Structure 1
Amino acid sequence: MNSKRIKQIIQILLSFGIAVWIFWFLYRDIELETLIAQVKASNWAWIIGSLTISLFGYWIRGWRWTLLINSEEGEKVTPTRSYHAVMVGYLVNMLVPRAGEVARCGVLTRTNGISLGHLLGTVILERSIDLLFLIGTILLAFTVEQDLFLSLAGQLVDFSSLGESLLSNLPFVVTFAAIILLAIWMIFRRYKDHGLVNKIQHFFREILSGLKRIGQLNNPVGFWTSSTLLWIIYFLTMYTVSLGIQSTANLSSGEVLLVMVMGSIGMVAPVQGGIGTFHALVAFILIQLGISEVDGKIFAAIIHGTQVILVIVMGLISWIIMLKTPKWKQPETS
């Protein structure tokens, strides 16, 4: 086993260990009987409705992906096949963080003959757009729940004293900011051929070229509409679960939006399926909204646990279906 393989295994085990530790730390004081009692007391009609909405979201994500894939290469990708590839990717992500992106591309390379490089490019573009929508959703949550946002931030930073300090030292602050910007510009210019700088520049070039490429798609309206719909689905998934649990049933839509934002940030963390980080951030914001610590943690466990079960079940089904799908072969030319 080479050193690169060993390093990858260590990274996987480390991320999994961190996830398990965070999860244990959060739930070490909650008795299993309490969790089971809350699960039994929940309105499962709402929770099943949440899972149905979520499953529809996975299909939408698969359909959106087909809009980015160049059908001139290999065999045209159908929304159904794209959906199965997406579910395989989510399943793999439960084991190895971020590996699911490569796995779902590999599935379509095998079944449709489309190059892995092209598919990875479309996934990078997808993730870039998702990041922009996450930022937009955070801004929307800030607008809707501005007082709560400022209250939470105020617990960490005293804005009044910070503002006074900045004003009293304004010339220094402006000079310091100018020096930092100049230093960044000089570093990028001096080390423009350095690997890390090239990667950063390449990342932003990919985003810009990707945005231009979306405008050249056959269905740019469909792409932007489905991208927006995905985040509406994420919200509805969270909102319906909140209605099904007694302790969160009275949360406003703005408060649920804030919970969704925190959960989305938790899912970005490089751990298997957001385990631990999702629970910690969702429970934290629910506690700030007046939900008891135990109820907040149980809510996070229910919504994350049901989603994990959905991904495992549907992911395994998609994996079996794609395994049985014949490998693509280059058509013979006469």
Structure 2
Amino acid sequence: MNKKVLLTVLQYVIFLGLGIAIILYMSGKLSDEDKAAMMGAIKGVRVWLLVPIFLIGFLSHYFRALRWKLLLEQVHIKTSTTNTTFAVLIGYITNLVLPRAGEVAKCTVLARYEKVPADKMIGTIVAERAFDMVCLVVITVAAFLFQASYIGDYAEGLFGTMSSSAKGVAATIYFKIFLAVAFAGLIAFILLLKRIRQTKVGQFIKGLGDGIKSIFKLKKRGMFLLYTLLIWGSYWFLLVLGFWSMDQLDHLTGLCALVVLVFGSIGMIATQGGIGAYPYLVGKILMYYGIAEAHGLAFGWVSWTVQTGVVVILGVAALILLPIYNNKKLKHG
């Protein structure tokens, strides 16, 4: 087994193991009453809302495929929307199994069925990821600025009791800005660290810079920004729909969903596929909105399960339909 494969396997085991450890920790901490309350909340989910949730989940991937097409066109690669969408869906389901393998998988799939060079697509992947990193940082800053009191309480719960004077400062705009910048910097650092481990630091940073600059050279910058807004807007609206699906959370606001989006994104980064970490972080932040821990964890698990289920269902469907679609296209010339 070569070094690269060994590192990939080790990384997979570590992040999956961390997720399982978090699950065991949550299970051991909850009382029997809390577990019963959590299961009751899960059983009470408005199942009919799964239909629009599934639809919005698909649209988020579809918008990502359309955005990727714009980047591919910039490097003179023309692809069909259908095959590009299939490739994106296959990339997501691959990522559930192997960290970051999805990026390679979707390039390989598209190269095979569209007869285009896979190596020319790598730059577009870097550009996409770089811009998404910027988007997450911007969303984090916005969440902190608008919901600093809730997130400040959460940070206090995690890192110890603040003094009463510090609590007073927390209400000021300066403290909000400080929190926003500090937390956004932490997210950026985590994202960068995971990438830097796989390559030379200088090459990685240069690749990020080139990726972001390439976006500003796009002929259809407006469409790129629109698709980006639709992608992240879909992620946000999925959480709003999730709130509506549970009696205990249906009073929560869109700003709360923005905060959950930030912490949920961190959870997805922290462990393989977000297992354990996503429900835990989401459940914890919801406690500061007056939601019982059991109900917050119930929402976290429902949200994670539905998101993962959408990825699996759409990914399997793409794997089945991709060869069928292309065989028919080949027959009809």
Bin the TM-score by the shorter chain: 0.7 to 0.9
Residue 27 (structure 1) shift: 3.3
Q: Distance in 1 between matches of 2:31 and 2:304?
A: 17
Match of 2:154 among 143, 152, 155: 152
Per the alignment, residue 262 of structure 2 pairs with: 261
Per the alignment, residue 106 of structure 2 pairs with: 104
Q: Classify 1:141/1:67 alpha carbon distance in 2 versus 1 (closer, same or farther; 3 Å).
A: same
Residue 12 (structure 1) shift: 2.1
Q: Distance in 1 between matches of 2:235 and 2:7?
A: 34
Instruction: Please state if 1:143 is matched with 2:145.
Output: yes
Q: Once the two structures are superposed, what CA deviation does each residue of 1:307-332 show, in whole Å capped at 9, x if it has no partner?
A: 11111111001012234436x99xxx
Q: Distance in 2 between matches of 1:71 and 1:253?
A: 35
Q: Distance in 2 between matches of 1:37 and 1:277?
A: 22
Q: Once the two structures are superposed, what CA deviation does each residue of 1:28-64 show, in whole Å capped at 9, x if it has no partner?
A: 4477765553333111233332221111111001110
**Unmatched 5+ stretches in structure 2:** 170-195
Aligned amino acid, residue 68 of structure 2: W
126-135 vs 50-59, greater mean Cα deviation: 50-59
Q: Specify the SS of the correspondent of 1:94.
A: helix
Q: Specify the SS of the correspondent of 1:69.
A: helix
TM norm structure 2: 0.79
Per the alignment, residue 225 of structure 2 pairs with: 224
Per the alignment, residue 277 of structure 1 pairs with: 277
Contact kept in structure 1, 2:287 and 2:296, CA below 8 Å: yes
Q: Distance in 1 between matches of 2:107 and 2:62?
A: 16
Larger radius of gyration: 1
Instruction: Please state if 1:11 is matched with 2:11.
Output: yes
**Unmatched 5+ stretches in structure 1:** 165-194, 330-334
Q: Specify the SS of the correspondent of 1:290.
A: coil
Q: Classify 1:229/1:4 alpha carbon distance in 2 versus 1 (closer, same or farther; 3 Å).
A: closer
Q: Equivalences for 1:148-297 in 2 at 5 Å?
A: 148-155=150-157, 156=159, 158=162, 199-269=200-270, 271-297=271-297
Runs of 4+ in 1 over 4 A off after TM superposition: 30-36, 71-74, 159-162
Residue 127 (structure 1) shift: 0.9
Per the alignment, residue 182 of structure 1 pairs with: none
Aligned amino acid, residue 318 of structure 2: S
Q: Distance in 1 between matches of 2:118 and 2:129?
A: 16
Q: Classify 1:294/1:79 alpha carbon distance in 2 versus 1 (closer, same or farther; 3 Å).
A: same
271-280 vs 83-92, greater mean Cα deviation: 271-280
Per the alignment, residue 183 of structure 2 pairs with: none
Equivalent residues, number:
295
Contact kept in structure 2, 1:27 and 1:297, CA below 8 Å: no
Contact kept in structure 1, 2:89 and 2:318, CA below 8 Å: yes
Q: Distance in 1 between matches of 2:7 and 2:154?
A: 39
Q: Classify 1:72/1:266 alpha carbon distance in 2 versus 1 (closer, same or farther; 3 Å).
A: closer
Identity %: 27
Contact kept in structure 2, 1:30 and 1:294, CA below 8 Å: no
Contact kept in structure 2, 1:283 and 1:300, CA below 8 Å: yes
Q: Classify 1:6/1:245 alpha carbon distance in 2 versus 1 (closer, same or farther; 3 Å).
A: same
Residue 114 (structure 1) shift: 2.5
Match of 2:46 among 43, 48, 64: 43
TM norm structure 1: 0.79
Q: Distance in 2 between matches of 1:283 and 1:244?
A: 16
Aligned amino acid, residue 24 of structure 1: L
Contact kept in structure 1, 2:89 and 2:314, CA below 8 Å: yes
